[in-house]
Copies of this chain bind each other. A is one copy, B any other.
Amino acid sequence: MTTELLYERVADRVADLIARGVLRPGDRVPSVRRLSRQERVSVATVVQAYQQLEVRGLVEARPQSGHYVRARSRAPIAEPRPARPSTTPTKPSTGNLIKKVYGAIRDPRTVDLGAAVPSAELLPTEKLQRILGSMAREVGGVGVSYDPPPGCPALRRQIARRAVDAGCAIPADEIVTTVGAMEALHLALRATTKPGDTIALESPCYYGLLQLVESLGIRALEIPGHPRTGMDLDALEVALDSQRISAVLSIPSFANPLGSRMPDEAKKRMVALLAAREVPLIEDDIYGDVPFPGTAPPGEEDRPKPAKSWDRDGGVILCSSYSKTIAPGYRVGYVAGGRYRDRIEALKFAHTISTPTLPQLAIAEFIEGGGYDHHLRTLRRRLASQVAHMREAIAAFFPEGTRVSAPTGGFVLWVELPGNASSIELHGRALAEGVSIAPGPIFSAKPRFSSYLRISCGLPWSTAIEQALATLGRIACSLAGRPPA
């Protein structure tokens, strides 16, 4: 048994005491030393267990005093319900709402819980800018010059090295660097489909992807996603056997907006299903690097394996970027194209010629020097804590019957309002009060998710955020005609 599983077992023991009401809100939990003796584990293991319980939002540390069970407003809130399967593909159509959601990023008067953007406070800004500056001086003219496809060799080496760490062997030569994950996904779609084709994707699905798919004249068949395990593979199998699907687009690890983590066994099954039918899988792994510590299912590492780990015939195209973890404004992503690699490189040149040079060099240096791994350890804990805070605030302020996802990575929550409350209405009214959210309907091309919304937990917890949640809750209660829980 590894140490990691040990501390989880200890954490589970304490969580169980809380769930059964043996330990109640405000109670002091056993001291580290005492629990270490009781459970016959090291002090370090107990410290890890308590860290994890903090992350889960179950206990809080009080300076000089130990750990206490946190006050909870009510029983754990339920998960939102998945979408029903759909048999007809639709051409997605999205509107002005999306523009309002991303437009709020720029507006300093708005508390932006709409865009899935990590706050600059969470990012290694100073360190990175220092590297960028010294890199710019060091490489001179190279920094202002084109970096032709497949892109920065130093960065591709680091990507390949880290992929191996995540259990997924990708040679550096298979990788093409891109302008963020969005260009990577765009290239993958262009390499595997043509206008009029149908692809299958998770529902709900990140609106940017739906917009891209629509703009390419591709039809999207929406396969229901479960908030814990992701795409419904039975529904996918039915779809594959009943119509021509050109590609499948999925975010197996911490899907946006569902937050689901597809278990390894399911990833393996998905890859096999598609390989047998020679249908390519376009995998978006953009949140893969931010699992919450100690939340992996038994037998899996914290850092989920990409589905590409099970790829045997080059049919899985892995897309990702550093926009959620290092610097969205640097615009650096990548694609490991499998058997589509050469086509993708040619398309990359035709799309944007090359990826920004200095940002690639700076990120490569940051990773190589160990800065990225160090940063991720902090980032994962902070995101876990922010998500826990937001879930509690939703439980406290939102109307009775509200459901919310319980992701174990990433930083978005998927919320289902009771009483047919309209999230578009909520979006409009909240925006007028200086709070932005992402309303559910933009996450589907069908008239779906009218009572759902996505809340981003990318901003560090603060009283301003708490007030924004209170505002959202008040409007939601009025729309649902129900009091808070």
The chain A residues found within 8 Å of chain B, CB to CB, are 98-99, 102-103, 105-106, 115, 117, 119-121, 123, 125-126, 128-129, 132-133, 136-137, 140-149, 179-180, 182-183, 186, 190, 194-195, 208, 211-212, 215, 217, 323, 326-331, 345-347, 349-359
Query: Once the chains bind, are B149 and A125 in contact (CB under 8 Å)?
Result: no
Once A195-B195, A352-B182, A354-B329 are accepted as A-B contacts, the answer to whether A123 and B144 lie under 8 Å apart by CB is yes
Quote the shortest CB–CB distance from A136 to chain B (angstroms): 4
- Note all chain B residues with C-beta closer than 8 A to A147: 106, 329
Query: Once the chains bind, are A120 and B140 in contact (CB under 8 Å)?
Result: yes
- Note all chain B residues with C-beta closer than 8 A to A351: 182-183, 186, 212, 351
- Note all chain B residues with C-beta closer than 8 A to A182: 350-353
- Note all chain B residues with C-beta closer than 8 A to A140: 120, 125-126, 129
Quote the shortest CB–CB distance from A415 to chain B (angstroms): 23
21 contacts between A and B (CB under 8 A): A99-B346, A115-B148, A117-B146, A123-B144, A125-B144, A129-B137, A129-B140, A132-B132, A132-B136, A132-B358, A146-B329, A147-B329, A179-B356, A183-B351, A208-B349, A208-B350, A330-B357, A331-B331, A331-B353, A352-B352, A356-B356
Query: Once the chains bind, are A350 and B180 in contact (CB under 8 Å)?
Result: no
Query: Once the chains bind, are B143 and A136 in contact (CB under 8 Å)?
Result: no
Q: Is the interface of A mostly helix, strand, loop or mixed?
A: helix
Quote the shortest CB–CB distance from A149 to chain B (angstroms): 7
Query: Once the chains bind, are B146 and A105 in contact (CB under 8 Å)?
Result: yes
Give the distance in Å from the alpha carbon of A149 to the alpha carbon of B211 in the complex.
15
Query: Once the chains bind, are B180 and A353 in contact (CB under 8 Å)?
Result: yes
Query: Once the chains bind, are A144 and B327 in contact (CB under 8 Å)?
Result: yes
Give the distance in Å from the alpha carbon of A102 to the alpha carbon of B348 in the complex.
12
Q: A182-B350, A215-B346 are in contact. List 14 more A-B contacts (CB 8 A).
A: A102-B149, A102-B353, A105-B146, A125-B144, A132-B358, A133-B133, A144-B329, A147-B329, A186-B352, A190-B215, A195-B217, A208-B349, A331-B331, A331-B353
Quote the shortest CB–CB distance from A47 to chain B (angstroms): 32
- Note all chain B residues with C-beta closer than 8 A to A117: 145-146
Give the distance in Å from the alpha carbon of A355 to the alpha carbon of B355 in the complex.
11
Specify which of B190, B326, B330 is in contact with A356 (CB 8 Å cutoff).
B330
Once A143-B125, A346-B211 are accepted as A-B contacts, the answer to whether A106 and B148 lie under 8 Å apart by CB is yes
Give the distance in Å from the alpha carbon of A347 to the alpha carbon of B143 in the complex.
28
- Note all chain B residues with C-beta closer than 8 A to A329: 142-147, 354, 356-358
Quote the shortest CB–CB distance from A186 to chain B (angstroms): 6
Quote the shortest CB–CB distance from A118 to chain B (angstroms): 9
